Amino acid sequence: MTSLFDNLARRFLGQQYAPVSTSEDPESQVRVPGSFAATPEGNQVANSNVSEGHNRLPGDAPIGEEPATAPRAALTSHNLNHVLFRFSTICQLLVYKPLMVVSVLICRVVAAFINVIYFRDEYAATANNPSDPIDNANKFIRELEYNLQPSEPMHTLPPFFQGSYTQALFMATNRAKFLFVYLAHPRSENSSGMFENIITAPEFTSIFNDPDYIIWGGDLTSSESYQLANSLNVTRFPFLGLMCLTRSTTMMPSGPVKSAPKISLVSKVQGRVKDRARAQAIISNKFKNRINKYEADLREIRHELMNKYMSQVLVKQQDISYQNSLARDKAKKLKREREGKLSAYLQSKVEHFLQLQNSQSPDSARVGIRFSNGNRVTLTLPSTTKVAEIYEFVEIHRRGYDTEPQTLSSQNGQNSQNSLMSLEIAPDDFKFSLVSSVPPRSSLKDFWESSVRDVNFIYPNGMLIVEDI
């Protein structure tokens, strides 16, 4: 055994190793210069290069003797530990760490291969419809209806919310409703127990006869359900949780103050449900008791939300009424301003039409106009006159501006000129229509932008009938 340790030590320590002598002769033991040796009297005496009876200078070698060489280190527990440590380090670098890296790579490849083989349908379903949570929820409801047992006709599905979880959460938050969330895993073997003993149980479905309770469901093939499971810290499937608005009370110097309501998970059950007895206990203890605990507070929150909503509706209606009133007042003001401008504009055109009546143009049109009261007036116009001026002439006659010449002051004349420059006459400014007296009874409004010569039923002469609108 000693030789085995010697060989191992020589291999790793090289020339620094020398075996320890086991001889009892103290003279045969090698002493290191400068070391201490024990005397028979029990005192330690320094070993030097001076022998008994002979004085030697330090560093001198004995005459006729070879210089003494330093002895090699003996095999001790410390040296052995050092050898074993170096050996284990080499093994870790050359064997253990490469094996660990290779094992991790192999495990990852095998896991990816298993996922592709066994969960290919789930990944394909999620990838084909990643952004349609409403369709995913409706598909989940259809699958639950397919799983109903025909042997138990009393067991029916609760009225699952046919929409996304975001929409269901909006209903629960803004209308202070209780929200049940049911999450299932398509590969879980425990889903049937909760589905048969709780979800379809009459004790559970009867809860939703009240419109203040809604239930939403989904499975992990949809991204929305997966994110919801992570946010709720779901560790086992299937999962059934109860959520509602809650608020805390803080004591202040003025008294207790309630915080703003926020949605919270107040009760949950996850994993396998073994039998009906345990399912009934869960419905009674975990859900109905929680409902009774938060019902009063939730009813108060619901009343506050209703008052807030009604006040917002009232403010909105008042704002709409105010805006409509402003719009009507503005329209009336604009109408009065336009009416004033139109009146001034027509008064300024009276002299223009008198000049047209007295002019003798070789290329002119004679248009007879018959009013609704039976009066007839003949208007002579140059062929290049716009059709709009016929409407202006009729309006002047209807208002009686042509019976008495208008005497305008210089300021009124200036205002009429400004109105003439800024006012644009449109057919809607006149409350009558002009139609031809012969078939087909064409309306002169269709030729508003045309000249008189372009209208064949008034050029070179024709008859128009004034019809009040």
CA distances from 15 to 7, 18, 70, 80, 184 (A): 12, 8, 11, 15, 72
Helix (H, G, I), strand (E, B) or coil at 465: strand
284-to-160, 181, 204, 287 alpha-carbon distances in Å: 21, 17, 9, 6
Q: Please state which of the four CATH numbers 3.40.50.300, 3.40.50.11750, 3.10.20.90, 1.10.3720.10 is assigned to the domain occupying 359-402+425-468.
A: 3.10.20.90
What's the pTM?
A: 0.52
Alpha-carbon dihedral sign for residues 58, 61, 67, 71: negative
| Domain residue spans of the chain | 133-313, 359-402+425-468
Cα 307 from chain centre: 29
Q: Any bridge partners for residue 73, and if so which?
A: 17
DSSP state of 283: I
d(CA 464, CA 452): 13
DSSP helix/strand/coil, 42:
coil
3-state secondary structure of 257: strand
Could you say which DSSP state residue 274 is in?
A: -
Question: Within 13 A of 3's CA, how many CA atoms are on the CB side?
Answer: 0
The tokens of 235 are what?
């560790």
pLDDT on residue 122: 52
pLDDT at 401: 85
Angle at CA 136, nearest 5°, toward 135 and 137? Answer: 90
Within a 10 A sphere around the Cβ of 382, how many other Cβ atoms?
Answer: 16
List average pLDDT for each run of 10 residues in the chain, which is 469 residues long: 54 50 43 42 42 48 50 62 80 79 87 68 50 86 83 76 94 94 85 86 92 93 91 92 91 84 93 86 92 93 92 95 95 90 87 79 84 87 87 89 58 53 78 86 86 86 88
pLDDT at 415: 54
Kindly write down the DSSP assignment for every residue of 50-106, as one continuous string.
PPTT----TTPPPTTSPPPPPPPBP--HHHHHHHHHHHHHHHIIIIIHHHHHHHHHH
Q: What is the pLDDT of residue 256?
A: 82
pLDDT score for 183: 94
Residue count of the chain, please give it. 469
* Topology (CATH) of 133-313: Glutaredoxin (3.40.30)
Copy the structure tokens of residue 396. Answer: 């002047």
Q: What is the pLDDT of residue 49?
A: 42
Q: What is the pLDDT of residues 379-435, one digit of tens each?
A: 888 888 888 889 999 999 888 887 655 554 444 555 555 545 567 888 888 889 899
Q: Which residue has the tokens 């139109």?
A: 342
Strands 249-252 and 255-258: antiparallel
